[in-house]
Structure 1
Amino acid sequence: MKLNYKLYPFQNPNPNQQSIGDMIILHGLFGSLKNWVTVAKFLSEFGNVYTLDARNHGDSPHSDEHSIPLMSQDLEEFILQNHIKSPLLLGHSMGGLVGMYFDLTHPGILKKLIIQDISPRSYPFAYDNEINSMSFPLDGFSSRNQIDSEMAKFVPDTFIRQFLQMSLERNENGLYRWKLNVTGLNHARRVFDDVFDLNQTSETKVLFLLGGNSEYIKNTDFDIMDRMFPNNQKITIQGGGHYIHFTHQEEYLKILKNWLDKN
């Protein structure tokens, strides 16, 4: 599948700064490349940055099939089509699972991995409220505020609603629609089940960047990370949750810079 993407070319005010190479950013479930503008612009001071829309997200094609292996195939196709050599990959949540799966099944392709707040294991599809908040008919709604009020019946958290609404668009006729393939994602409820072979290992250098208050990381995950990706470093942002690239952006970017400068 040919994915939609945006390229942020390498730009650094220091003429002596050399590019570290190409970087790819993979967003999480219900996200899009629009969620990563600030991070991508920041990282473009180190090299070319490609932000991708996963299948069934953003402006990438919709499909009845949605799985980590298929998204890994999409990533391979993207890398080959764009002649990208030894990229560094940053993946958040679902994007992190895709990045780790790709690395384990395509050894030697990725130069480095940055995995945000996810572990190489199975996760439940615990997103009924989010799916329901995007499943009611949008006919008759004349403003985002009206849609937001209806969504709040399912998702009380304003931050999450605003995150979801980044995939809400209005066409030239004034009608709203979801760019997400909500039905397709709802049917892919086993997308995070039994993805990884826990006997697989990778020597790729990995930074696990975690939220201290995240519900996605358990103490037992550290052993899994060490077993499958022994060449890793873990950095936890205290007080952070799953979206530390938004909520703790200054600290997040500082950590990325320090890690890239040293690695």
Structure 2
Amino acid sequence: MFLNFTVQGAGQPLLLIHGLFGSLSNLNILARALAKYYQVYRIDLPNHGQSPHSNTVNYVAQAIAVKDFIDQQGLKYISIVGHSMGGKVAMALAITYKDLVDKLVVMDIAPVKYNIRHHDTILAGLSATKKSRIRSRKEAEITLFQYIHDPNIRQFLLKSLAKQYDGSFNWRFNVDVFEAHYDDIIDWPLGSIFTNNTLFLKGANSDYISAEYYKSIKSQFPQAKVHVVANTSHWLHTEKPDIVARIITRFLINLKH
């Protein structure tokens, strides 16, 4: 599988991985800041953006796809930053291919199986747009509004709406696979340990990294530090991009020297 990607900057390689329903463009601000020090790669995960679709979203398969990308680029020792589902992919990669990963930054996700289905209303809205065969972005937003009342989330999703050759609109991400295999997305099937330096960033107002998950973090990532970003939700990197970029930069650069 060939994953769509961009690269910018020079130096040691650094890979940024977006979350569910996202694409490489979501991490553009972080990439610009980090490219001052690193050669920054951003990818579209399988079933997202302009990367190919597949029939699976489990973390073993996604880690293999990212490992193949790293090999294709001829990269040998790489640091990784991942948000949400992308953070789980990053953790899976670090745990499975320990000799490949230098430092790890995980944004607002924990190495646990989640019992709360955070995305059911989003999936319902996306499914409704597919059934109604929308013909414009406005139609899509009207349909989404019936399910998703947060305008920021609607606009985030609409970034992945693409016009087709016949004039209709469809999602770049694979809604059908997300619905069919959502249990794989909230799962965490891996139990090995990654001993390199790791930073977990928690949105202060987010429940994705709760206190009860700290034990799981430390058991699999014994060198991990947890940094809480004040006045942010799960979307900490879009709400406080400069602060998040500065925290990540200090973590990566300081540990390098």
TM-score w.r.t. length of structure 2: 0.93
The size of the alignment, in residue pairs, is 252
| Structure 2 counterpart of 1:238, one-letter code | A
Alpha-carbon spacing, 1:137–1:29, altered in 2? closer, same or farther (3 Å): closer
Q: For 2:55 and 2:216, how far apart are their aligned partners in 1? A: 31
Trace 1:138-177 onto structure 2 (pairs within 5 A): 141-177=134-170
Answer with 1-10 or 84-93: which moved more: 1-10
- Structure 1 residue 96 corresponds to structure 2 residue 87: yes
C-alpha contact 2:103 2:252 (8 A) present in aligned 1: no
SS of the counterpart of 2:194? Answer: coil
Residue 163 of structure 1 deviates from its aligned partner by 1.0
Which 5+ residue runs of structure 2 have no aligned equivalent?
A: none
Aligned equivalent of 2:230? 238
Q: For 1:239 and 1:76, how far apart are their aligned partners in 2? A: 34
SS of the counterpart of 1:24? Answer: strand
Q: For 2:217 and 2:93, how far apart are their aligned partners in 1? A: 15
C-alpha contact 1:121 1:196 (8 A) present in aligned 2: no
- Give the one of 86, 89, 111 matched to 1:120: 111
Which 5+ residue runs of structure 1 have no aligned equivalent?
A: 11-18
Aligned equivalent of 1:223? 215
- Give the one of 186, 203, 209 matched to 2:201: 209
Greater share of residues in helix: 2
C-alpha contact 1:122 1:196 (8 A) present in aligned 2: no
C-alpha contact 1:90 1:116 (8 A) present in aligned 2: yes
Q: For 2:118 and 2:230, how far apart are their aligned partners in 1? A: 24
Q: For 2:253 and 2:57, how far apart are their aligned partners in 1? A: 36
Residue 175 of structure 1 deviates from its aligned partner by 2.2
Report Cα offsets for 1:191-240 as digits up to 9, x if no partner: 1324222xx22211101111111121110111211121111221111121
C-alpha contact 2:49 2:172 (8 A) present in aligned 1: yes
Aligned equivalent of 1:4? 4
Report Cα offsets for 1:15-59 as digits up to 9, x if no partner: xxxx2x001011111111111111112111111111111111111
C-alpha contact 2:136 2:168 (8 A) present in aligned 1: no
After superposing on structure 2, the runs of 4+ consecutive aligned residues of structure 1 that deviate more than 2 Å are 136-143, 171-175
C-alpha contact 1:117 1:216 (8 A) present in aligned 2: yes
SS of the counterpart of 1:111? Answer: strand
Q: For 2:28 and 2:230, how far apart are their aligned partners in 1? A: 24
Aligned equivalent of 1:16? none
C-alpha contact 1:92 1:118 (8 A) present in aligned 2: yes
